[in-house]
Structure 1
Amino acid sequence: MEVSTTLWVLTVLGLAALIGIDFLIGRKPHEVSVKEAGVWTVVWIVLAALFGVGLLVFGGGRPAGEFFAGYITEKSLSVDNLFVFVLIMTKFAVPALYQRRVLLVGVLIALVLRAVFIAAGAAIVTSFSWVFFLFGAFLIWTAWKLVQEARADDADEEEFEENRLLKAAERRFGVADRYHGTKLWVRRNGKRIMTPMLVVMLAIGTTDVLFALDSIPAIFGLTQDPYIVFTANAFALMGLRQLYFLLGGLLKKLVHLSYGLSVILGFIGVKLVLHALHESGVPVAQISIPVSLGVICAVLAVTTLTSLMAARKQAAAAARADAEGEQREAVDA
């Protein structure tokens, strides 16, 4: 798909305008209700759908299919980010009033960093077709690693660890011992230091880079168009903040999410290897975008269904155990 400089500029300006409107509407610190989160979740999904329809009308079926496949993949992979966001919010004890602002700025930082990754990835893919072998192998390895982590007994005891960049910033500038509203910098003893608010924003933005290491190769397995890769990432990330407040406790019920994501990453990894073989002249079948989209949607649907069923069984088992415990206590008494 040929994308002019004018279209790139208009797209970036359009996204900036949407983000600006989002910021102005929620500029007053407040606790985000489930209703508000639900409305904004729908708004961002509708905007992504309208953008995909626009690609269909002006670009054809292939770009639209690649966008929707990329958007759904990035959306599903980004849900895994929410678990880390919860850990970060807990570690830094972010007041509920400021969580929306923290996520907005943190996600913007993540989007800028991802744009750099996308530009670098596009340049590499264009110059070296063999890189698809590396991307494919990396995704298959990541899929296996996800399965191993999902089977680990201590998965629920995971804690957030600050990355080196964040630790270096804290050492260099210092950090205040409490929140000062929405201020990012304050003065202490004549020295300008960061507030916990800025630290949390940087934590969310820079930690997302780790997730981009598998999500960016994954979407390049579905499309090599930088424009589609960027817009799919942008819509997925901007809607991620609302899911944080909307899903809430539901995240703990998605017990099979890691298995589903591993299947998706493994599938795209195989697709990349087949594409690399095809580019090398080996006569192998390639996986089409409609098939990719169907597999991704099916895996997510099955994963969600089995997760909710498993969570319900666990809740029922816990309730029975509590009831039996109460009965034993009554007999002993």
Structure 2
Amino acid sequence: MKILVTGGLGFIGSHTVVELQSEGFEVVIIDNLSNSSEEVMVGIEAISNIKPIFEKLDLREKSAVQSFFEKHHDIKGVIHFAASKAVGESVENPLLYYENNLSTLIYLLQELQKKDEASFIFSSSCTVYGQAEKMPITEDAPIQSAMSPYGNTKQIGEEIITDVAKVSNIKAILLRYFNPVGSHPSAEIGELPIGVPQNLVPFITQTGMGLREKLSVYGDDYPTPDGTAVRDYIHVVDLAKAHVIALKRLLENKNLEKVETFNLGTGTGSSVLEVINAFEKVSDKKLNYQIVGRREGDITSAYANTDKANEVLGWKAQSTLEESLASAWMWEQKIRG
């Protein structure tokens, strides 16, 4: 069965491709390489002994998307990762985010609604909850006004999918995930940000390697136990496995609604300082960090209630924060080798 993974050479996408291939799916990857590298294909093949089909394509080009689906008319499902994903950058360049994250989704859905049946997994985010009023966050938590254009594109994306599913043969699962970290245990693939990392863990590992002089901790005046922001850090392999389980649910017609929503996290919140301390423990490195002002678009706290994913999907995160950070550190050491 042929599955399209957009953004399949990115961090979460590449790990999901590996898990799909291990379950016997034939994978086609679309990626424009704007935040990834074709070398990731080597890592995927090293782990799975299968080289997926790769099409370098920008999903913002509608005619290219149409041509792709004419060529690969037998695609049964799509896992859609391709999107820009940095909160800070989205505040500075909102139009880039609206074009990249919404037009690409629309062009994909336009092709899928031509099919008799299509299964669609959407890479959503806990940012749709904004600063939730209650922790942990359940799927029923109100969708707050977005704190950033990035978060807004995820909210609008979910609305577009829900509207289209009502009037087409598309069925979808929206996966709202918290903070993906770590790397594959083989250290063949991992998080490889281009330029200055926008996420905490690669910045930590690069600082540990001496590539960054110091780590900035944005704000220590949040109403949290140690004053730093709290997030739910989930191992990327756990996250990838959830995508395969969700896809199978749709393909086997086990979904109870046309569009279902699941939170993916560990259920535990960790502060920035707790992450730093955990990294120092697993790496035996002392990190040079400094407290700076808060960053626009950042919220105080977000961690998941995972009961629905645990019970309905039969999925549960397995890795601890320390295990996730140890794998991220192993990957960082390998690529800097």
> TM-score interval w.r.t. the shorter chain?
under 0.3
TM-score normalised by L of structure 1? 0.24
Larger-Rg structure:
1
Greater share of helix residues, 1 or 2? 1
TM-score normalised by L of structure 2? 0.24
Ranked by relative contact order (alpha carbons within 8 Å, sequence separation 6 or more), the top structure is 1
